[in-house]
């Protein structure tokens, strides 16, 4: 929250570009709590910073082309300098609905 989160106080519903009313989020939710939102690029930077601080090796500008599961999983990357394969204790696939990491990991 300190780095990129935001609690909107209301939600403005629009139809054809016109406001049809603002909803007070805290007053109209069952527990009186409003939502939390964030600007995606700021959240990405905050999460990457936390991962690096925790010891993760963060690579930008590289593309994962393969993951091999097992006791010592490997990740194969392609980037500007060619390809490389590295071992990892943990592989996190945050690549969406059509996840290649899930396919490679056979999950």
> pLDDT tens digits, the chain, 107 residues: what are they?
888 888 888 889 999 999 999 988 888 888 887 778 889 899 989 989 999 999 988 878 888 899 998 888 999 999 888 999 999 888 887 788 888 888 887 75
Taking phi over 0 as left and psi of -120 to 50 as alpha, with beta for the rest, 14 belongs to beta
pLDDT for the residue numbered 104? 86
Q: Which domain does 94 fall in, by range?
A: 59-107
Tell whether 46 and 81 lie within a shared domain. Answer: no
Overall number of domains in the chain? 2
pLDDT for the residue numbered 74? 92
Tell whether 29 and 51 lie within a shared domain. Answer: yes
Tell whether 44 and 70 lie within a shared domain. Answer: no
Tell whether 48 and 2 lie within a shared domain. Answer: yes
Tell whether 49 and 33 lie within a shared domain. Answer: yes
Give CA separation, 10 vs 27, 40, 95, in Å: 9, 20, 31
Q: What is the pTM of this model?
A: 0.57
């Amino acid at each position: 929250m300190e780095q990129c989160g935001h609690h909107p106080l209301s939600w403005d519903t629009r139809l054809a570009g016109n406001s049809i009313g603002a909803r007070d989020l805290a007053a109209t939710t069952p527990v009186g709590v409003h939502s939390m939102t964030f600007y995606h690029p700021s959240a990405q930077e905050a999460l990457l910073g936390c991962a690096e601080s925790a010891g993760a090796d963060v690579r930008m500008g590289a593309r994962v082309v393969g993951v091999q599961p097992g006791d010592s999983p490997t990740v194969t990357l392609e980037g500007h300098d060619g390809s490389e394969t590295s071992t990892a204790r943990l592989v996190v696939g945050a690549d969406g609905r059509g996840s290649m990491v899930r396919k490679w990991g056979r999950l």
